[in-house]
Amino acid sequence: MITEKLQKAINDQITAELWSSHLYLSMSFYMEKEGFAGMASWLKKQSEEEKDHACEMASYLVKRGGTAVVDKIDVVPTEFGTPLEVFTQVYEHECRVSKMIDDLTDVASAERDKATQDFLWGFVREQVEEEATASGIVEVLKKAGEAGIYYIDDKLGARK
Ligand code: MG
């Protein structure tokens, strides 16, 4: 059985993952309008991945005898600027998520819940990849000229 405090902290993270999912979906719609179909597709997949994270956490909570909640999700921005600005915001957001996962792991540790700590290490590792991927895209966008942006758009559109 999971403690009340840890259950609340995981439910807060579920809300944060769903907010992230909405943020990336909003970025996807924006990029589609801006004519970057590949980046829009990449961001839509990123949005789906965030929803998967929320579902994974919910299943874990239920398995531990807790209750998973879909809470109110705050509105997300709708304007994001140039492709470089969009992916810089993706990178910055992933850094904030990493901090949230770290804090959540600290709560699990304070509650002396080993199973939850073990569960969360998967997300700690995932964040290393998320930050590296986003920062990699920011770097290539910085180096790309006007024509290069469309080449990158094509590349990102190939994400499975
Ligand atoms: Mg996530």
> pLDDT confidence of 153, banded at 50, 70, 90?
very high
pLDDT of residue 59: 98
pLDDT of residue 31: 98
In angstroms, what is the span from residue 49 Cα to ligand 1's centroid?
A: 7
Mean pLDDT estimate for the chain: 96
pLDDT of residue 151: 86
As a whole number, mean pLDDT of residues 24-44 equals 98
> pLDDT confidence of 1, banded at 50, 70, 90?
confident
pLDDT of residue 146: 78
In angstroms, what is the span from residue 17 Cα to ligand 1's centroid?
A: 5
> pLDDT confidence of 63, banded at 50, 70, 90?
very high
Give the Cα separation of 129 and 134 in Å (integer). 9
According to the annotation, is 50 in a ligand binding site? yes
pLDDT of residue 128: 98
Q: Are 87 and 141 in contact (CB under 8 A)?
A: yes
Q: Are 154 and 38 in contact (CB under 8 A)?
A: yes
In angstroms, what is the span from residue 130 Cα to ligand 1's centroid?
A: 8
> pLDDT confidence of 147, banded at 50, 70, 90?
confident
pLDDT of residue 145: 78
Comparing 122 with 147, the larger pLDDT belongs to 122
pLDDT higher than 90, residue 140: yes
Token pair, residue 125, equals 């590792």
According to the annotation, is 94 in a ligand binding site? yes
pLDDT higher than 90, residue 119: yes
Token pair, residue 20, equals 């992230």
Q: Are 119 and 9 in contact (CB under 8 A)?
A: no
Measured between its terminal Cα atoms, the distance across the chain in Å is 37
Q: How many CB atoms lie within 10 A of CB 30?
A: 19
pLDDT higher than 90, residue 16: yes
In angstroms, what is the span from residue 85 Cα to ligand 1's centroid?
A: 20
According to the annotation, is 127 in a ligand binding site? yes
As a whole number, mean pLDDT of residues 53-61 equals 98
120 to 98, 117, 159: CA distances (angstroms): 11, 5, 26
Q: Within 13 Å and on the Cβ side, how many CA atoms surround 125? A: 6
CA angle (151 as vertex; 130, 128 as ends), nearest 5 = 10
In angstroms, what is the span from residue 146 Cα to ligand 1's centroid?
A: 31
